[in-house]
C-alpha cells in the first residue's frame, strides 16, 4: 500500500484524515482505489472519463508525475503520493 | 507577510499561512513562496505545485493546519477578483492585501462558500506579529 497525502481542502472527504493508504501498482490505480474508498472524493480527482483532473497535480515523492510516466508511473509499497490542487489568482 | 508583499511591489506576492482551525482560525506562522506565474505578475499570481506540496508537508511535520493562502493586489483594492474566485478551493482562507505604490493599505480575508460558489468575507484581527519563513 502506498501512502497518500490528502490536500487540506479535500480532507473533509476523507473523514479529516491527512494521510490514507491506497492499493495499486501505478498512480492511476492508487487514485482509483482512493476514489473507491472515498466516493465523495472521486469527482474532485477524476473526470467523467476516469482521467485525473487537469487542475490536480500528483507527486510521487518529490517528483511531479508529469516528469515521470504520468498516470502510469509505477509505485511501490512505501511510495508517498501527494495530491496537489492548483493555487492561483490575481487582482484583475 | 507584509514586508514580503511590499517588497514584491509592483508584482503580486504570495504565500501560505498555518495555525489551528476552529470556530476562530488562529494563524501562527506564514511561509513566503515565489510567484511562479508565467506572464504578468503585476495582476496574477500562481503557486507552484512543488511549493504547495512542501507547505502540506510542513504543516504535517509541525502539527499545524494549512489554513490558506495570502497574496497582494498591487495598486488595486483588497477585494477578490473573478480570477481569485475562479481558482478558489474550499476550506482555505484567502487573505488579500492591497499595496499602493509599495505601501500596504488594507487587509481582508475570504472563504469560498461551496453552495453559492461565492466568497464570504471573514473578520480579521491582528493580535501579534507572525513568524514568517521564506
CATH of the domain at B92: 3.40.140.10
- pLDDT of B134 higher than 60: no
- Reported as type and span, the H/E element at residue A64 is strand A63-64
Q: Establish whether this prediction's ipTM goes over 0.85.
A: yes
Which residues does chain A have within 8 Å of residue B47's beta carbon, measured at their own beta carbons? 87-88
Per-residue model confidence (pLDDT) at position B127: 77
CA distance to A35, B98, B113, per residue, from A41 (Å): 6, 35, 18
Percent above pLDDT 90 for chain B: 90
CA distance to A86, B34, B74, B105, B133, per residue, from B29 (Å): 22, 17, 23, 21, 8
CATH number corresponding to A2-85: 3.10.20.30
Per-residue model confidence (pLDDT) at position B37: 95
The residue ranges of every structural domain in chain A are 2-85
Give chain B's mean pLDDT: 94
Burial label, B64 (beta-carbon count in 10 A; 0-12, 13-18, 19+): middle
**Residue contact B12–A90, C-beta within 8 A:** yes
Per-residue model confidence (pLDDT) at position B38: 92
B133 touches chain A (CB under 8 A): no
Which residues does chain B have within 8 Å of residue A12's beta carbon, measured at their own beta carbons? 90-91
CA proximity to A85, closest of B53, B31, B91: B53
CA distance to A75, B3, B92, B112, B118, per residue, from A84 (Å): 17, 27, 14, 18, 22
Residue of A nearest to B93 (CA): A9
Per-residue model confidence (pLDDT) at position B133: 64
Cα–Cα distance measured from residue B2 to residue B132, given in angstroms and rounded to the nearest whole number: 10
The answer for B 9-38 residues in CB contact with A (under 8 A) is 12, 37
DSSP sequence for A49-74: TSPBPTTEEEEETTEEGGGTTGGG-B
Cα–Cα distance measured from residue B90 to residue B49, given in angstroms and rounded to the nearest whole number: 17
**Residue contact B37–A64, C-beta within 8 A:** no
Which residues does chain A have within 8 Å of residue B83's beta carbon, measured at their own beta carbons? 88-92
Domains: count for chain B: 1
- pLDDT of B129 higher than 90: no
| Residue entry with cell 508584482 | B11
**Residue contact B53–A84, C-beta within 8 A:** yes
State the residue range of the domain holding B127. 2-133
pLDDT per residue of chain A (92 residues) written in tens, 0 to 9: 999 999 999 999 999 999 999 999 999 999 999 999 999 999 899 999 999 998 899 999 999 999 999 999 999 999 999 999 999 999 88
Rg over alpha carbons for chain B, rounded to the nearest Å, is 14
Residue of B nearest to A82 (CA): B53
Cell (9 digits) for B39: 506572464
Q: Which pLDDT band holds residue B40 (cuts at 50, 70, 90)? A: very high
Beta-bridge mates of residue B120: B111
**Residue contact B52–A87, C-beta within 8 A:** yes
Which residues does chain A have within 8 Å of residue B45's beta carbon, measured at their own beta carbons? 88-90
Q: Model confidence over B66-122: pLDDT tens digits?
A: 999 999 999 999 999 999 999 999 999 999 999 999 999 999 999 999 999 999 999
Query: In sequence order, which residues have a C-beta less than 8 Å from that of residue B41 and are 6 or more positions away?
Result: B11, B12, B35
**Residue contact A89–B37, C-beta within 8 A:** no
Q: Which pLDDT band holds residue B126 (cuts at 50, 70, 90)? A: confident
Which residues does chain A have within 8 Å of residue B31's beta carbon, measured at their own beta carbons? none
Per-residue model confidence (pLDDT) at position B128: 67
Given a contact cutoff of 8 angstroms between Cβ atoms, the answer to whether A10 and A17 are in contact is no
Cell (9 digits) for B125: 484581527
For residue B71, give the nearest of A62, A89, A92 by CB distance: A89
Amino acid at each position: 500500500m502506498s501512502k497518500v497525502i490528502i490536500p487540506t481542502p479535500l480532507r473533509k472527504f476523507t473523514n479529516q484524515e491527512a494521510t490514507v493508504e491506497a492499493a495499486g501498482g501505478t498512480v492511476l490505480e492508487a487514485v482509483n482505489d482512493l476514489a473507491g474508498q472515498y466516493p465523495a472524493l472521486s469527482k474532485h480527482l477524476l473526470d467523467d472519463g476516469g482521467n485525473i483532473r487537469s487542475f490536480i497535480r500528483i507527486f510521487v515523492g518529490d517528483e511531479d508525475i508529469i516528469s515521470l510516466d504520468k498516470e502510469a508511473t509505477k509505485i511501490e509499497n512505501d511510495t508517498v503520493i501527494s495530491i496537489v490542487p492548483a493555487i492561483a489568482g490575481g487582482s484583475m | 507577510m507584509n514586508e514580503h508583499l511590499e517588497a514584491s511591489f509592483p508584482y503580486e506576492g504570495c504565500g501560505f499561512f498555518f495555525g489551528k482551525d476552529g470556530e476562530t482560525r488562529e494563524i501562527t506562522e506564514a511561509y513566503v513562496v515565489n510567484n511562479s506565474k508565467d506572464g504578468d505578475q503585476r495582476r496574477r499570481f500562481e503557486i507552484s505545485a512543488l511549493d504547495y506540496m512542501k507547505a502540506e508537508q510542513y504543516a504535517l511535520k509541525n502539527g499545524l493546519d494549512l489554513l490558506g493562502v495570502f497574496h497582494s493586489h498591487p495598486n488595486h483594492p483588497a477585494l477578490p477578483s473573478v480570477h481569485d474566485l475562479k481558482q478558489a478551493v474550499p476550506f482555505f482562507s484567502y487573505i488579500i492585501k492591497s499595496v499602493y505604490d509599495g505601501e500596504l493599505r488594507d487587509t481582508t480575508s475570504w472563504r469560498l462558500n461551496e453552495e453559492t460558489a461565492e466568497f464570504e468575507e471573514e473578520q480579521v484581527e491582528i493580535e501579534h506579529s507572525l513568524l514568517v519563513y521564506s
